[in-house]
Structure 1
């Protein structure tokens, strides 16, 4: 989540190239997060404890913030 947030900061500061570089790192982290997300679901067969559910939700938040970063960078680039 931090890499995507940092990419948003760089974009808002008009450091578009740096924002894309950071977003590349965020994409790698997102890939790993998605793998763990899927493995957790498969392992628990959807019967998550409250702690597991919190982790599961956090991984979905990572995707949301990543997508927000992509939109922000594109928007700032076109200004």
Structure 2
């Protein structure tokens, strides 16, 4: 499942550069995660890097975008193929 940034975000700017898929971008008020690009770092790391660096723990799983680990790996492979 993709991740989501909640309104507890303090716009500290640490999550965006950590995302290997460039799924995080600055929104109107807080940072946002594009669910089409979020693989929870599957294919890159063992843990979602944005969650690891977030100082306020405002990046939970997005219940509206539920995906299995296999689906996340397939998405990762599609993203990598498109970048090649």
TM-score, length-normalised on structure 1? 0.29
TM-score, length-normalised on structure 2? 0.27
Query: More strand by proportion, 1 or 2?
Result: 2
Q: In terms of Rg, which structure is larger?
A: 1
Structure possessing the higher relative contact order (Cα contacts under 8 Å, 6 or more residues apart): 1
